């Protein structure tokens, strides 16, 4: 199975900060990488597909980059509604696997 490692597992940030979350795949998954946002009691939401493509309706402050084994999700100017848990997920090969999540908390 492809291993997905996310870091940090949690971070504290303030409204207006820039936040970067890293996801590492082993082995390489080219660009078969998606990012999701999860809030308590709500359905997870697709943010980014194919490493760098913004899902329709997702604010432009979200962006994704990377290929091969190393990927990042960035949020510029963090907003109150962005405090949530973020997961990366590979769809390169079955079984599809997720990172363990990064919880973004209010400082």
List residues binding another protein (CB under 8 A). Answer: 30-32, 34, 36, 38, 41-46, 49-50, 52-53, 55, 87, 89, 91, 94-101
CB 27 within 8 A of CB 69: yes
- β-pairing, 85-90 vs 62-67, is unpaired
Q: How far is the CB of 98 from another protein (least distance, A)?
A: 4
Q: How far is the CB of 26 from another protein (least distance, A)?
A: 16
CB 23 within 8 A of CB 6: yes
Q: How far is the CB of 16 from another protein (least distance, A)?
A: 28
Closer to another protein by Cβ: residue 29 or 75: 29
Closer to another protein by Cβ: residue 20 or 91: 91
Closer to another protein by Cβ: residue 20 or 97: 97
CA distance 25 to 90: 8
């Amino acid at each position: 199975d492809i291993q997905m490692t996310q870091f940090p597992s949690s971070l504290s940030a303030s409204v207006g900060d820039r936040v970067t979350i890293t996801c590492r795949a082993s082995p390489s998954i080219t660009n078969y990488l998606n990012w999701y946002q999860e809030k308590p009691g709500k359905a997870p939401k697709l943010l980014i597909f194919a490493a760098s493509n913004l899902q329709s309706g997702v604010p432009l402050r979200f962006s994704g980059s990377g290929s091969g084994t190393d990927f990042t999700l960035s949020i510029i100017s963090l907003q109150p509604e962005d405090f949530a848990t973020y997961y990366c997920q590979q769809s390169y090969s079955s079984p599809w696997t997720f990172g363990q999540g990064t919880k973004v908390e209010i400082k």
